[in-house]
Chains A and B, each alone.
Chain A
């Protein structure tokens, strides 16, 4: 759980960093370049498979853990401890993870499918743009198009909020699971964890919002 979670966190950093190039406001040139760069490098293609595997392991482990733990109580209490002992999001990691899973399916369908599988069978390939005589997938144009739908924007923002809460618990929990017990390190990690969860999720949430509002073109 902790190792896969940590890997997924490191993926988020790279993903957020690259996507931030949409704000270069150059009609998506820098963004399309970096997406192409990532898509054409063999190391990254291998990492993509590793990433898929880590996602799947994390999800399976998560559900196995959750269902095992849920079965341990037997008869429940009439009155629960609820928020008096723990944060609601710490107790709902499975549910937040499920929201993330639903989000992930929608997200992959939006961008990964046309970009990687476009042209196979009935799947529409992406339009191409020309930079210096070379053709690139215009993933940026696709983003702008998809984020014109307000419902999609709302679903993405909900996904980002789930991510923020999942990470507010997950970030610190990972390090505790891995055995960090020095109080000074831990208090630092907890602060970094909250900041990371909020900043990363806010950066992601701003992408569909700024495209919908026409801040980037």
Chain B
């Protein structure tokens, strides 16, 4: 694709801290290369702001290669911007045209309070993982990977679910602010493998209980999460989570 430069108008959410009311600021930015990533474009804007003695725009980022789940911007009404199955850090400026206005907002959910500008507190996800998103094994020498035979379909489904990077786009997109796609990915990833089986009942019950406690909404299967997930986590994982949850609720041993 041919390289081109563009001038853009950005409307970006600015908020000093969690208590500040916050508002949109408008910025004009010139000579942005179509080959830049979206975050690099923000870097350019931030350098300009710093040179002018202003406060840089705070935003989350880490790997910048689509694997860590840190980046989180709601761009023109869509989490992670216009490209399908792409994190913001992998979004390139060629997705935009010269002269365009781009609106950038933080994830909006009571369970993800804004810390500053575009940075939200996603520790609610960490607490959901702490409630059961792990397996308990004694450490030691690594076990031979092929010691336990695993059905290929289960291995594939588990692997697909394991690709969830915990970014929270599913919550940001859902009209109910439900975290069910995230939870379903984590539960499915482990429940499909023999290593995850021993704790599967307590895992499903405890993780769902923690999700409710954190103030996420309930799933009504609108499908918005699946449509925006950068890792294309399938919504059928939520059905699997429901099955796990009902099964566990009916049969768990008293603790």
Contact = CB atoms under 8 A, between A and B. Distances in A.
Interface in A76-102: 76-82, 84-87, 90-91, 93
A68 B218 contact: yes
B125 to A, nearest CB: 15
B240 A181 contact: yes
B222 A69 contact: no
Nearest to B246: A179
A77 B77 contact: yes
Interface string A168-196: 01001101111111010010000000000
A93 B220 CA distance: 9
The DSSP consensus for interface residues of chain B is mixed
Contact of A86 (B24, B78, B108, B223): B223
Given A72-B215, A87-B223, A176 B109 contact: no
Contacts of B239: 175-177, 179-181, 186
B117 interface: no
B177 interface: yes
A74 interface: yes
B223 A69 contact: no
Contact of B110 (A74, A86, A178): A74
A81 B244 CA distance: 30
Interface in B59-79: 74, 76-79
A82 B227 CA distance: 12
A80 B75 CA distance: 10
Contacts of B218: 65, 68-69
B77 A84 contact: yes
Given A86-B227, A179-B243, A180-B239, A72 B222 contact: no
A77 B74 contact: yes
B216 interface: yes
A78 B224 contact: no
Contacts of A180: 239
Give the bracket for the number of chain A residues in contact with chain B. 35 or more
A75 interface: yes
B108 A74 contact: yes
B90 interface: no
Contacts of A134: none
Contacts of B246: 178-179
Given A72-B176, A74-B109, A74-B110, A80 B77 contact: yes
Contact of A72 (B74, B110, B236): B110
B222 A91 contact: yes
B38 to A, nearest CB: 16
A87 B236 contact: no
A79 B82 CA distance: 13
Contacts of B39: none
B77 A90 contact: no
Nearest to A178: B242
Nearest to A172: B221
Interface of A: 65, 68-82, 84-87, 90-91, 93, 169, 172-173, 175-181, 183, 186
16 contacts: A69-B175, A71-B110, A72-B110, A77-B77, A78-B11, A81-B224, A81-B228, A82-B77, A84-B227, A85-B225, A86-B222, A176-B235, A176-B242, A179-B243, A179-B244, A179-B246
Interface of B: 11, 24, 74, 76-79, 103, 105, 108-111, 173, 175-178, 215-218, 220-225, 227-228, 235-240, 242-244, 246
Task: Across the A-B interface, give the 8 residue pairs with the lowest CB-CB distance, nearest first.
Answer: A179-B243, A79-B77, A85-B224, A69-B176, A181-B239, A86-B222, A72-B177, A72-B217
